[in-house]
Amino acid sequence: MANDSIRTAFITGASSGIGAALARHLAAEGITVALAARREEQLQQLADEIASAGGTASIHPLDVSDPEATEATVRQADDALGGLDLVVANAGVAPSRWSGKLCWADCTNALAVNVAGATATLTAVLPRMIERKRGHLVGVTSIAGLRGLPKMAAYSASKAYLRVFLESLRLDLHGTGVCVTEIRPGYVQTPMTKDNTSTPFVVSAEDAAARIWKATRSGRAVLTFPLPMAGAAGLLSALPNALYDVTMRPRR
């Protein structure tokens, strides 16, 4: 899709981090942004900031762990804006727990947000996009979704689901006018990573937003960044299980 073909965008997880930075970036490009997240006050502050800078934004308080509410909210924004050109499933949670103590309750929120919520976001107006023969779906996965990471079973699995889901969408939707892009970041400076003790090759949310927009604008299928993390992830993906297990097994 060409730059000027995207006029409206819906972004989940827009109250902070990558979502907020991407909203600012798109608004600066003249795109009307619909901001969705649980925290209404932060959404309003961001919408006011965008308006002060000359952009246009609307707020949509939403907990994406509720897929029915997510579908309804995306469709309402589609109606209000005369059709969404871009839908970004960015909202996510990253629980961490040693698998020896893992239980169902530890996994439910990751599955509700990263799997059900992301799926509902991406499919909410997909039939409408097909009818219009235009649109762009973007899903934010993670390098952590390429292989299972220690203490991140639910998170890695949820991002692996979204990665494969987006790949299937991309294959099915070829030639329909609807483009699909997977964004696969490493460490980004966001509230989600603020307590991490090790964040190699970390990039800012603003840097991530610029990369995401460039990939989206060019219709790229997959963007993995930053480059050193992408290279390391590719290497780990190629390791046989026995060597991967020895390399990644946590020391206790």
Catalytic residue among 155, 161, 187, 244: 155
The contacts of residue 68 (CB under 8 Å, 6+ apart) are 120
- CA dihedral 222→226→228→231, nearest 10 degrees, is -10
> Crossing angle, helix 241-248 and helix 227-238, to 10 degrees?
130
Q: Using the 8-state DSSP alphabet, how is residue 148 labeled?
A: P
- CA dihedral 96→99→104→110, nearest 10 degrees, is 30
Q: Is 155 a catalytic residue?
A: yes
d(CA 228, CA 201): 7
Tokens of 216: 């989206």
Residues 209 and 22 sit within 8 Å (Cβ to Cβ): yes
Q: Which residue has the tokens 């059709």?
A: 83
Q: Which residue has the tokens 């840097």?
A: 207
Q: Which residue has the tokens 């609307």?
A: 58
d(CA 166, CA 137): 9
- Between the alpha carbon of residue 66 and those of residues 114, 115, 127, 214, the distances in Å are 11, 11, 20, 30
Residues 102 and 153 sit within 8 Å (Cβ to Cβ): yes
The residues assigned a catalytic role are 155
